[in-house]
């Protein structure tokens, strides 16, 4: 194979015009890494937040940077220390966000961040799972420690994270309220939500004595959520850090989750998908060359599931 590949990179931070389709060298895997031939990737809001430079104070990315932190593809080379994967394996991952991403024909990933792709899912569906699936898993299961019978309010149920959160909360045996637009009511109910609250026309803050709020929206939505929780309740946000003083006033424990790579959790998500217990809704699909259009779709804030980038699927 030629030692060059196509990749979407940025050389400076800014609007969608900074996205460049470049020919760059195919990376070589380190001893603990695999080289993945990327079949499909997906967009997350973090892609355009990083592109715009909003996360630079936290992530300090060197440039040029290849964006994209979801991948489904095939292992084409493995470092000497890699034992659980081999050439030819179909895999998926949410790789380390500090490194180059998956909007490229090939990428290297630390093998410990890579799991076998759920065989029941297409490449596109599988590429839509890792980042949002891990976010919902870590927020609800690891941080909030959601238990069977608890009442949870999930904000943004029609968003990509929200859709996974509804499904994981139901699998845990919780009672699920979710905020959504009326146009997405059928969608969130089909995923298992017990009650959909139209955030344009209804006041979710009338809910009382909830055990957990999962906040994927932030701002005013988070501010109005404290009063819905019982004393000793938990609020986990992925949108903005909750204020500790406000949480203390309400007797609630606040958390912020920033998703981390996790192979074991990807394996458990794959088991659920293979058992038919996890649905992946695709909002739209784009080619690598049309990546700017995919960013544009995500930046509307109106997506109804995963925005997929087809690379070699």
Ligand X SMILES: NC(=O)c1ccc[n+]([C@@H]2O[C@H](COP(=O)([O-])OP(=O)(O)OC[C@H]3O[C@@H](n4cnc5c(N)ncnc54)[C@H](OP(=O)(O)O)[C@@H]3O)[C@@H](O)[C@H]2O)c1
Site for ligand X contains 127 (CB under 6 A): no
Structure tokens at 202: 């209804």
Alpha-carbon torsion (223, 225, 230, 233), positive or negative: negative
Contact pattern for ligand X over residues 151 through 180, marking x by CB under 6 A: ----xx-xxxxx----------------xx
Among 103, 106, 123, 199, binds ligand X (CB under 6 A): 199
Nearer to ligand X, 45 or 254 (CB): 45
The helix or strand, by DSSP H or E, that contains position 59, with its residue range, turns out to be helix 56-59
Tokens of 271: 């088991």
Cβ-based nearer residue to ligand X, 44 or 265:
44
186 binds ligand X (CB under 6 A): no
Residue with smaller CB distance to ligand X, 10 or 196: 196
- Sequence-distant (6+) residues with CB within 8 A of 35 are 26, 27, 28, 29, 75, 76, 77, 78, 106, 107, 108
Binding residue (CB under 6 A) for ligand X from 41, 102, 167, 221 = 221
Which of residues 181 and 274 has its CB atom nearest to ligand X in the complex? Answer: 181
CB of 26 to ligand X, least distance (A): 29
User: Is residue 184 part of the contact set for ligand X (CB under 6 A)?
Assistant: yes
Residues 6+ apart with CB under 8 A from 271: 118
SS3 for 120?
coil
Dig out the tokens for 63 from the structure.
Answer: 């440039």
Q: Does 187 bind ligand X (CB under 6 A)?
A: no
Q: Does 303 bind ligand X (CB under 6 A)?
A: yes
248 Cα distance to chain centroid: 29
Q: Binding string, 230-269, against ligand X, x = CB under 6 A?
A: --------xx-----------------xxx----------
Binding to ligand X in span 283-302, by CB under 6 A: 298, 301-302
Please report how close the Cβ of residue 37 comes to ligand X at its closest, in angstroms.
25
User: What CA–CA distances, in Å, run from 34 to 29, 54, 57, 75, 262?
Assistant: 6, 30, 29, 6, 16
Is 216 among the residues that bind ligand X (CB under 6 A)?
yes
Q: How many residues bind ligand X (CB under 6 A)?
A: 30
Nearest approach in angstroms of CB 120 to ligand X is: 22
Please report whether residue 27 would count as binding ligand X according to CB under 6 A: no
Closest approach of ligand X to the CB of residue 248, in Å: 22
Instruction: Detail the DSSP E strand segments found in the chain.
Output: 4-10, 19-25, 33-43, 65-66, 71-78, 90-93, 106-110, 114-116, 151-154, 175-180, 195-198, 210-215, 229-237, 253-256, 282-287, 306-310
Residues that bind ligand X (CB under 6 A): 44-46, 132, 135, 155-156, 158-162, 179-181, 184, 199, 216-217, 221, 238-239, 257-259, 298, 301-304
């Amino acid at each position: 194979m030629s030692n060059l590949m196509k990749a979407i990179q940025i050389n400076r931070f800014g609007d969608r015009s900074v996205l460049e389709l470049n020919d760059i060298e195919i990376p070589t895997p380190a001893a603990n890494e695999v080289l993945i031939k990327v079949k499909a990737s997906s967009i997350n809001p973090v892609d355009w937040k990083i592109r715009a430079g909003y996360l630079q104070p936290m992530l300090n990315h060197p440039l040029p940077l290849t964006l994209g932190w979801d991948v489904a593809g095939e292992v084409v080379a493995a470092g000497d220390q890699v034992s659980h994967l081999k050439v030819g394996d179909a895999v998926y991952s949410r790789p380390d966000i500090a490194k180059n991403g998956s909007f490229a024909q090939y990428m290297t990933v630390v093998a410990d961040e890579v799991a076998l792709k759920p065989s029941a899912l297409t490449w596109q569906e599988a590429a839509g799972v890792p980042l949002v699936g891990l976010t919902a898993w870590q927020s609800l299961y690891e941080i909030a420690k959601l238990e069977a019978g608890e009442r949870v309010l999930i904000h943004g149920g029609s968003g990509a994270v929200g859709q996974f959160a509804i499904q994981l909360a139901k699998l845990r045996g919780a009672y699920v309220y979710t905020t959504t637009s009326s146009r997405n009511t059928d969608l969130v109910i089909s995923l298992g939500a017990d009650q959909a609250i139209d955030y344009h026309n209804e006041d979710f803050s009338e809910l009382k004595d909830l055990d957990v709020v999962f906040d994927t929206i932030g701002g005013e939505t988070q501010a109005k959520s404290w009063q819905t929780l019982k004393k000793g309740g938990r609020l986990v946000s992925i949108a903005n850090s909750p204020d500790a003083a406000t949480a203390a006033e309400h007797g609630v424990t606040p958390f912020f989750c920033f998703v981390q790579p996790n192979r074991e959790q990807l394996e458990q998500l794959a088991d659920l998908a293979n058992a038919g217990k996890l649905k992946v809704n695709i909002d739209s699909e784009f080619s690598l060359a049309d990546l700017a259009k995919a960013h544009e779709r995500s930046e509307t804030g109106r997506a109804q599931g995963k925005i997929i980038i087809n690379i070699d699927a």
